[in-house]
Structure 1
Amino acid sequence: MKRSSYRRYLVPGVAALALTLSACGAGNEDSGSDADVPAGTEELSGTLNGAGASSQESVQNVWRANFQGSAPDVTVNYDPVGSGGGREQFIEGGVAFAGSDAYLDDDEGQLTDATERCSGTSPIEIPAYVAPIAIAYNLEGVDDLQLSATTISGIFNNEITTWNDPAIAADNPDAELPSDTINPVYRGDASGTSENFTEYLAAVGEWPHEPSDEWPATGEAATGTSGVIEVVGGTAGSIGYADGAQVEEAGLSTVSVAVGDEFVAPTPEAAGAILTASTPVEGRDEVDLAVDIDHTTTEAGVYPIVLASYLIACQTYEDQEQADLVKGYLSYILSEDGQEAGANDAGAAPLPEDLRSQAADIVDAITVG
């Protein structure tokens, strides 16, 4: 079981949000003035800094453009250093919020350290971006590839090393598979995407390693989501895992994954459907909406490899400006307009309505300590 479903509470708290100033979002700037932002947004001013998951980069570009179009005196910076780097910077107090593709792990002391950073109060974790982790590949002449969990595990553990291996052929009886060597590409930096992907492999495949945000096997390392996409797209015979929206934007081919008796493609709708089959993380504070994803589901139409990317923050801020900025921006992200924009322009799966409502109630209670 892995991190993604939601806690059924309506509680006070605070949250933070990730936004990027990447040039690739510049094309969306003009749409901001039409965004249905929360009341009072246009009166906000100041700078909000965050860091974290590179998988959020595309959707944060969309949200930034819309929000800042209505709040021209606000600057929200988001450094896509990866989930591990974002959590570390947040815990050390270097940024006001973090984006993370995995919730804080108390076994590693992250939750305890974050509580200390937040003046002894439990940190808030809100899933703001749910998306498929797509398995992208570059194989000339093979446009529709489907793979079972066992085959995927064998490929990424370097046990299946050629594209015409019998296991791949069995999953694709109508494909003309070449004898080319497989080049598995993985995240070389600490990554919540790696953690979610290895959680899936451990749950349903013959994967001999413990789930981790550090890649445990061999292959070709790449830095960040963009790095994986660049290597796969530029190297024939490669296969890698990355955020589905960015894979689609790059025009790469993707694998349909076996679920029960069918193969399911990595669409936002199929990824979002897994939330209803998953459960809240046990023992968490009421302001913590972290969840455990059920990768073993056999429900029709559900894509089993997903990331639920979180926004992590403290419940209160010492500075009024920071509290107002966090509350305003997160409120937009969780609004119907924000969710629709993320889905239409960045391939994010809209949050289920009850989860969106719970998260909005948490954000609405942001306070100054």
Structure 2
Amino acid sequence: MKLQRSGFVAGIALTASIALTACGSDNVPTAEGGSSAAPGSCISGSLTAQGSTAQKNAMDEWIKAYQGQCADSKVDYQGTGSGAGIEAFIAGTADFAGSDSALKEDEQPLADAKCVGGKALNLPMVIGPIAVVYNVEGVDGLQLSPSLLAKIFDGKITKWNDAAIAAENSGAKLPDANIETVHRADESGTTDNFTKYLSKTAEADWSHSNGKAWKAPGGTGASKSDGVATKVKSTPNTISYVELSFAENSDLQTAKIKNGAGEYAELSGESAGKTFENAEVKGTDGDLALSLDYATTTAGAYPIVLVTYEIACSKGSTKAKEVQAFLKYTASAEGQKALGELGYAPLPETLRAKVEASVAAIA
């Protein structure tokens, strides 16, 4: 079943107690094609950033609206992948980075070293549901359990008409065709989150640890999210994982995923938000790294979600004021409101307020 964007937006309004209010006197005319522009004062200058492709569409929208208000402010964000973004931040060639995963233990001290007298913060900014997409003629509403999904991507199930797939899809006309799995060829936080989901929910069937680099044998690699979507769209009998916005843009079929409550949940704003409601903040002192419950037993929850972070210095960056001004907009109610039309979900209001407070403390 293909997800309709209007249903996604409607679902967002029903979940996670999202309160999106106007910003009063801070409102200014809307940038062409975007949301109303950034609240607060503009800071002249330029920013260079890169990283997560999962949030690239959100960044493009934010930058257009922000620069629509702040004519003397320039933001250049390149979707190079989460791993490349973090490397650029550590190397000092990115003023902030986008990542689909919080900094790892070995990355944190290297990133902190770039923040004179401060530390590198993980600031959740975008909720991006991960769709399991497929291209199998005549098969609508494919249903997959975590175990079945793990076996497919680990090369243990290789035919679409395998008895295990048929057992979870009664009545489906499954072809006698080889399954071609597609994964990210570049290091990606989307891969990290997808394999983390498999590690947490199908430990007996997934024999690899999670990570930004794909570790399972076989399959076909494609670069970045748009490359994955293009490969699946153009190649029969493929299956992969990609952020919802890219699945929608390419009009790809999305599978229903069995959750901890035993239901095959269809991907929607409401179902993704139900999983996100259980996220816990594990960071301290302004760091907002989150812990997600991929095995949530919440009824109706779609369990494969990711959160994209902006990695920025709490203080000590030579571009601190410019970074703060831009992230004030992305974390604002108006900035978050823009996400619903792009295949993302706005942050729940309680978390959004925490992100806003962390950004306000950047010095």
Q: Give yes or no for TM over 0.5.
A: yes
Give deviations 1:181-224, integer Å, cap 9, x for gaps.
11000011111111100111011112111111111112000111
Return 90-99 or 112-121, whichever deviates more: 112-121
| Deviation, structure 1 residue 92 | 1.2
How does 1:49-68 map onto structure 2 within 5 Å?
49-68=48-67
Partner of 2:131: 134
Partner of 1:87: 86
Is there any run of 5+ residues in structure 1 with no aligned partner, and where? 1-27
| Deviation, structure 1 residue 363 | 1.0
- The number of aligned residues is 330
> Alpha carbons of 1:317 and 1:120: their partners in 2 closer, same or farther (altered >3 Å)?
closer
Distance 1:182 1:30 in 2: 43
Distance 1:95 1:37 in 2: 22
Name the aligned partner's letter for residue 79 of structure 2. Answer: P
Partner of 2:10: none
8 Å contact from structure 2 (residues 118, 316) kept in 1: no
1:351 aligned to which of 344, 347, 350: 347
Give deviations 1:198-255, integer Å, cap 9, x for gaps.
1110111121111111111120001111111111111000001011111111100001
8 Å contact from structure 1 (residues 272, 351) kept in 2: no
Partner of 1:143: 140
| Deviation, structure 1 residue 126 | 0.7
Partner of 1:268: 269
Partner of 2:23: none
| Deviation, structure 1 residue 275 | 2.4
- How high is the sequence identity, in percent, across the aligned residues? 38
8 Å contact from structure 2 (residues 114, 317) kept in 1: no
8 Å contact from structure 2 (residues 193, 306) kept in 1: yes
| Deviation, structure 1 residue 36 | 4.5
> Alpha carbons of 1:245 and 1:269: their partners in 2 closer, same or farther (altered >3 Å)?
farther
8 Å contact from structure 1 (residues 269, 349) kept in 2: no
SS in 2 for 1:77: strand
Return 183-192 or 262-271, whichever deviates more: 262-271
Distance 1:112 1:201 in 2: 28
Alignment pair present for 1:185 and 2:182: yes
> Alpha carbons of 1:242 and 1:236: their partners in 2 closer, same or farther (altered >3 Å)?
same
SS in 2 for 1:31: coil
| Deviation, structure 1 residue 262 | 1.3
2:359 aligned to which of 352, 357, 363: 363
8 Å contact from structure 1 (residues 64, 76) kept in 2: yes
RMSD between aligned residues: 1.5
8 Å contact from structure 1 (residues 129, 309) kept in 2: yes
SS in 1 for 2:232: helix
Alignment pair present for 1:288 and 2:284: no
Partner of 2:44: 45
Give deviations 1:67-104, integer Å, cap 9, x for gaps.
11111222111111100000111011111000000100
Name the aligned partner's letter for residue 347 of structure 1. Answer: G
Name the aligned partner's letter for residue 194 of structure 1. Answer: T
Distance 1:235 1:140 in 2: 11
| Deviation, structure 1 residue 277 | 1.4
8 Å contact from structure 2 (residues 194, 304) kept in 1: yes
Partner of 1:174: 171
Distance 1:327 1:122 in 2: 15
Give deviations 1:242-283, integer Å, cap 9, x for gaps.
1111111110000110012311122233222222213233xx
Partner of 2:309: 310
Name the aligned partner's letter for residue 292 of structure 1. Answer: S
Output the TM-score relative to the length of structure 1: 0.86
Distance 1:55 1:277 in 2: 22
Q: Which structure shows the higher helix fraction? A: 1
Name the aligned partner's letter for residue 279 of structure 1. Answer: E
Name the aligned partner's letter for residue 228 of structure 1. Answer: V
Name the aligned partner's letter for residue 267 of structure 2. Answer: P
| Deviation, structure 1 residue 31 | 3.0
Distance 2:110 2:195 in 1: 25
Partner of 1:202: 199
Distance 2:80 2:350 in 1: 31
1:334 aligned to which of 310, 314, 331: 331
Distance 1:124 1:247 in 2: 30
Distance 1:332 1:38 in 2: 6
Partner of 2:32: 30
Name the aligned partner's letter for residue 352 of structure 2. Answer: R
Alignment pair present for 1:163 and 2:164: no
SS in 1 for 2:285: coil
SS in 2 for 1:114: helix
Output the TM-score relative to the length of structure 2: 0.87
Distance 1:366 1:157 in 2: 43
SS in 2 for 1:221: strand
Name the aligned partner's letter for residue 360 of structure 1. Answer: E
Distance 1:70 1:170 in 2: 55
Partner of 2:22: none
1:119 aligned to which of 100, 109, 116: 116
Is there any run of 5+ residues in structure 2 with no aligned partner, and where? 1-29
Distance 1:301 1:146 in 2: 14
Distance 2:151 2:230 in 1: 23
| Deviation, structure 1 residue 347 | 1.6
Partner of 2:254: 254
> Alpha carbons of 1:57 and 1:74: their partners in 2 closer, same or farther (altered >3 Å)?
same
Give deviations 1:109-163, integer Å, cap 9, x for gaps.
1011111121252211110011111111001111211111111011101111111
